[in-house]
Structure 1
Amino acid sequence: MNANLKTNSAVPVTILTGFLGAGKTTLLNRILSEDHGKRIAVIENEFGEAGIDNELLVQADEQIVTMNNGCICCTVRGDLVRILGELSDGRESGELQFERVIIETTGLADPAPVAQTFFVDENIAENYQLDAIITVVDAVHAHRQLAEHHEAQEQVGFADRILLSKTDLQEPEIVLDLETRLRAMNPRAPIKHVHFGQTELRDILDIDGFNLDDILKIEPDFLEDISHEHEDDIRALVYQTDRPLDAARILAFLNIMIRDYGNDLLRYKGILNIAGCEQKVIYQGVHMLMTETFGNPWQADEARESSMVFIGRNLPKEDMLEALASCRVGV
């Protein structure tokens, strides 16, 4: 059977990838909040021990599963197979109702092992159909990320669609130069600009974009066992506390981190319990660009815990943990 032909019972799967901070979760929120009438199972994969992106997703009726193993690859791919199997069992028994699956990979993931799963595992290949790999590219930081990180190159190379984010923050000539570079890397993937996840769903869902023959041309051993390692100097630092944080101190800490380590901060994000604030404070950043917004109000029966993740190169872990501890109220 042609691997690109969809059986009547196969569930279409979209792999959403892109480097750290490109805007994957923003795009996923856009998909989940759209009035498309479809029920979607979401598999979240995060780098680090604490899940943040799941909190940043809209609270919809979708089935959301979080994988905190670091990357969907190598031995961890077994977890992906297990989760997809459990979703299939739930769907068959009637306990779960969904019509498609979206897998959001960590920004440090090579998409090849994820896509590989749908061809080398017989049960998964029978129940699921890989529809497309959608790659979000950060127009502000892409040139540097492509030069420094093999994963960023793989994400572009495997893309069936490329969505270029943050173009409003970059000079037009640099954006044009980036588009030329992306087309040279992957001439078969259409490129579209996306602003805060605003894009036509018909351009990213049900497009039958994944073509196994094309993938085998760029990676002949695609269907063979794939090994994968992250760069040794990239680490995730996780900080959690159930004590409220002082707004001035935490802001000073973030400003110092951006000033002194901005070039090495690949991604940082968090949900904060700020003393005196009845709403969650959400911050997200890439290198020296950071945004801060108010989230949902804290619920009466909800534990007011702050959770922060920093992903970067050669970060001063002990100094950071000590500084964060000093941001707690009463210290």
Structure 2
Amino acid sequence: MISTVLPSNERIPVTIITGFLGSGKTTLLNHILTQQEGLKTAVLVNEFGEIGIDNDLIISTEDNIVELNNGCICCTINEDLVTAVDKILERQKQIDYLIVETTGIADPLPVALTFLGTNLRDNTRLDSIITLADCENFSLDQFENSEAAFSQFTHADVVLLNKTDLVDSAKVDEIEQKINEIKEGVRILKTTNAKVSLPLILSVGLFESDLYFQPNKEEHKHHKLDHNLDREHHHHDHKHEHSHHLDNDGFVSVSFTSDKPLSIRKFQYFLDNQLPLEVFRAKGFLWFEDSEFKHIFHLSGKRLSIIDEHWKKQPKTELVFIGQHLKIDELKLLLENYIM
């Protein structure tokens, strides 16, 4: 078992992918494994065959681990989840991200609790639970006859309504309404072939310093937010905000920086009552009044985590929000109200 406790900012983010058979989990996993060069991901699955990894990507296969030439690996959960994750963490080669795929009939909650309630919490951080829904075969009977199906949506941070090309828009709207009835305010993405811009579902690519942004590498251009759009605007009080467009329709990231502390009470009120539903993800560093700590902030849907550590440089707040059709000016005005 791993005994080392990683520094808070080095805890590996974990995404759990769930959804019924045929919903598109395998397609999404392939998309993640092949589209994120520069980020080394470990995918934990029950069987390698479920993913159908491209043979051109495989370097080696040994001891229930398949290694890919882009630095990613796949590992089967042949004993239990903790053992499988420990095996990955013990490897010499560093991993930046963990993805766990549940079986189609599984409740994702026990998997999530494994990361929250075992020694894994010292080395990992539960980032999000992503649930895929098959629009073509979506049925309310799933929820009436299966607690696992109900749980997949009630615990979801983001839902991918997949295969939207196979049904008309009225059916998609109806499914979206039903899912919102099951979990009010859940973030919903509509996809075809599980194709989604990865920063929307994984904790990557929100800062220019992230591994996701490899400077001056042409092959990564389809991952990047467009840094030539809406460059930074500097204001008299030394804070700046800017936005970047994503490669998905209507999605944008909005950055906010302040060299003055935030009010804890006001920021909590913002998260509870004023955070726009159009925000899918947020991350950053928070400087609160009356706090000596640097607060590392992550948000996926409504799932929130804040990890404290000591400042190594001058404190300031840096935040990035990512969402669809965000009212950028309104969001900036809200945030300005929380500066002391």
TM-score (norm 2): 0.52
Structure 1 residues not aligned, in runs of 5+: 1-5, 69-75, 215-331
The equivalent position to 2:99 in structure 1, one of 83, 99, 102, is: 102
1:146 aligns with 2:149: no
Question: Relative to 1, partners in 2 of residues 1:213 and 1:34: Cα closer, same or farther, differing over 3 Å?
Answer: closer
Letter in 2 for 1:205: L
**Structure 1 residues 109 and 9, CA gap change in structure 2 (3 angstroms):** same
**Which residue in 2 is equivalent to 1:83?**
84
Contact 1:54 1:66 in 2 (8 A): no
* Structure 1 residue 176 displacement after superposition: 1.2
Letter in 2 for 1:31: I
Change (3 A) 1:213 1:41: closer
What SS is found at the alignment partner of 1:124? helix
How far did residue 52 of structure 1 move?
2.3
Of the three residues 94, 114, 120, the one matched with 2:111 is 114
Helix, strand or coil: the match of 2:52?
Answer: helix
SS at match of 1:196: coil
Answer whether contact 1:25 1:56 (CA < 8 A) is retained. no
Q: Which amino acid aligns with 2:192?
A: H
- Post-superposition Cα deviations, 1:224-278, rounded to whole Å, max 9, x if no partner, equal xxxxxxxxxxxxxxxxxxxxxxxxxxxxxxxxxxxxxxxxxxxxxxxxxxxxxxx
* Pair 32,213 (structure 1): closer, same or farther in 2 beyond 3 Å: closer
- Aligned equivalents of 2:129, 2:304: Cα separation in 1: 15
How do residues 14-93 of structure 1 correspond to structure 2 at under 5 angstroms? 14-46=15-47, 51-56=48-53, 59=57, 60-61=68-69, 62-67=72-77, 79-90=80-91
**Which of residues 158, 162, 180 in structure 1 aligns to 2:159?**
162
Amino acid in structure 1 at the alignment position of 2:200: D
Residue 55 of structure 1 aligns to a residue in which SS? coil
Q: Which residue does the alignment assign to 1:131?
A: 127
Contact 2:77 2:84 in 1 (8 A): no
After superposition, the Cα gap between the structure-2 partners of 1:170 and 1:119, relative to the gap in structure 1 and judged at 3 Å, is same
5 Å-filtered alignment, 1:244-283, equals none
2:169 to 155, 169, 172: 172
Structure 1-normalised TM-score?
0.54
Change (3 A) 1:118 1:210: farther
Distance 2:85 2:18 in 1: 18
Q: Which amino acid aligns with 2:201?
A: I
Deviation, structure 1 residue 107: 0.6
Q: Aligned partners of 1:188 and 1:22: how far apart in 2?
A: 21
Paired residues of 2:24 and 2:132 also in contact (CA < 8 A) = yes
Report the counterpart of residue 314 of structure 1 in structure 2: none
The CA distance in 1 between the partners of 2:12 and 2:131, in whole Å, is: 20
Distance 1:176 1:212, change over 3 A: closer
Is 1:7 the counterpart of 2:20? The answer is no
Change (3 A) 1:189 1:87: same
Superposition CA RMSD, Å: 2.3
Higher helix share: 1
Q: Separation in 2 of the partners of 1:57 and 1:115?
A: 29
Q: Distance in 1 between matches of 2:125 and 2:86?
A: 14
- Secondary structure of the residue aligned to 1:188 is coil
Match of 1:209 among 296, 300, 316: 300
Would you say the 8 A contact 2:76–2:84 is kept in 1? no
SS in 2 for 1:22: coil
What is the CA-CA distance between 1:197 and the residue it aligns to? 2.0
Partner of 1:239 in structure 2? none
Matches for 1:182-193 after TM superposition, within 5 Å: 182-193=179-190
Q: Is the 8 A contact 2:187 2:301 kept in 1?
A: no
1:114-167 CA-to-partner distances (Å, cap 9, x unmatched) read 00011211x200000000001111112221433332211110111000000112
The 2-side partners of 1:115 and 1:45 are apart by: 16
Shift in CA distance, 108/153, structure 1 to aligned 2, threshold 3 Å? same
| Gap change, CA 1:107 and 1:25, over 3 Å in 2 | same
Q: Give the corresponding residue for 1:293.
A: none
Does 1 or 2 have the higher relative contact order (CA < 8 Å, sep 6+)?
1
Query: Structure 1 residue 110: deviation in Å?
Result: 0.3
The answer to whether the Cα contact below 8 Å between 1:111 and 1:154 also exists between their aligned partners in 2 is yes
Number of aligned pairs?
A: 191
Deviates more, 1:127-136 or 1:205-214: 205-214
Q: Give 1:42's aligned amino acid.
A: V
